[in-house]
Amino acid sequence: MTITIIKPGLFTSIQDLGRWGYQQYGVIVGGAMDRLSYRIGEMILDQTPSAALEFTLIGPTVKFNCDAVFCLTGANFHPLLNEMPCPMWKPVFAEKGSILKLSYCQKGARGYLHIKGGIRVEKVLDSFSTYSRARIGGFKGRPLAKEDELPILPSSPFSIGKWGIQPRNWLFWKEPVVIRIVESTEYDFFTDESKDSLVTSVFTITKEADRMGYRLEGEHPLLTKEPINLLSEAVTFGTIQIPPNGHPIILMADCQTTGGYPKIAQVVSVDLPKLAQLKPYEKICFQLVSLEEAQQLLVQQEKAFKLLELLCSKNDEENFKN
C-alpha cells in the first residue's frame, strides 16, 4: 500500500504536531506550521496525530497505488481528483490508481494532505516531523521529491458521509492582517516610540520568510533605550525578536531553541495558524492584549475544537449544517 509523488510541489514534507520534550538538548519542536488545520484533518479522519503531508504555495501531484481515504485541509490549492474538483475539509475516497493534483493557492500559504491510517515512516525522537536542516524525521529527513514512493498504513472501515467543515477566520482575512501579541521579557527595554510603533505601524513580510522565521519591514525601526547584551534565552514559535537593525523577526515552527536578540512580544497561540498561512509581501499589524485575554482565547478555541470533535465523531450532518 503506497502513494507515489508524481510532482513534489514546493517544500512538501511529512509533518505532525512536532518533536516535544527535547528543546533542552537543542532539538527544535518543528511540526506543522498551521497546527489547527493539521489537527482538524486528523480529527476528520478520526485518528491520533499521524504522518501527513504539508506543502507550501504550490501543491504536489500524488498517485494512490491502493484504495484510500484522505482529507485536505489548510489553504485551498484547487484540488482535482482524476481531473474532477475535489472537496476539502471532509473525507474523500480514492480508488486505486487515482491521481490527486494540487496547484497554486491564491489565499493562504500551506495545505495538508491526511491519509486515513497515516504514512508509514519511523518516528525520530517521538515525532514523524521532518527537520530538513538536521536531516531527521519524515521521509529520509528531507522534503519530498519526484518519484518518491511512500508506504501508507492500512485503515479500518470508515464512513465517508456527506458532511464537511467550513474553515474559520484564520483562512479568510483582509490586509493588514491583525496578529495579537502579549508583552515579552524585554518589552520594557524598548523606547516608548518603539512600543507605540509596534502597535500602530503596518509591517510587511519580506521574501525572507520560511519555516524558521519571518523577517518584517516596518515604517520605523524598533529600538531599545540603550544597547543591551543578552545571554541566549529560550524562544518558541511566535517569539518576536528585534535584531540590531530594528526590524522584527517572528520565529516560526522550525525556530531555534534559544536566541540572543531582545524579545519585544510573543504572538498569542490562537493566531499562530493565521500567521502560518501568510505569504511574503503580505501586510500585518499587531494588537497588544493581556496575558489573561490570550489564555481566554486559547480556552475558547479548545472548547470549540472539542465540540467540533464531538460532531465529527457522530457524523451528524444536521449539526454540521447548523
Quote the cell numbers at residue 137.
524525521
**SS3 label, residue 265:** strand
Instruction: Estimate to the nearest angstrom the gap between the alpha carbon of 45 and the chain centroid.
Output: 18
Give residue 228's pLDDT. 85
For the chain, strand residue ranges (E) read: 2-7, 13-15, 52-56, 61-64, 68-74, 80-81, 84-85, 92-94, 99-101, 110-115, 149-151, 177-183, 203-209, 213-217, 233-234, 239-241, 249-251, 258-259, 263-267, 283-288
Confidence at residue 169, expressed as pLDDT on a 0 to 100 scale: 59
Q: Is 146 left (phi over 0), alpha (psi -120 to 50) or beta?
A: beta
Q: Profile the chain (322 residues) by mean pLDDT over runs of 10 residues.
A: 95 96 94 95 91 97 95 95 94 94 93 94 95 93 96 72 64 86 96 96 96 95 91 94 96 95 97 96 97 96 87 56 35
CA 250 – CA 182 distance, rounded (Å): 13
Cβ atoms < 10 Å from Cβ of 66: 14
Instruction: Sort strands 233-234 and 258-259 into parallel, antiparallel or unpaired.
Output: antiparallel
C-alpha cell at 59: 501543491
- If one counts every other C-beta atom within 10 angstroms of the C-beta of residue 149, the result is 11
276 exposed, middle or buried (CB, 10 Å; 0-12, 13-18, 19+)?
buried
The contacts of residue 295 (CB under 8 Å, 6+ apart) are: none
pTM exceeds 0.95? no
264 close to 187: Cβ distance less than 8 angstroms: yes
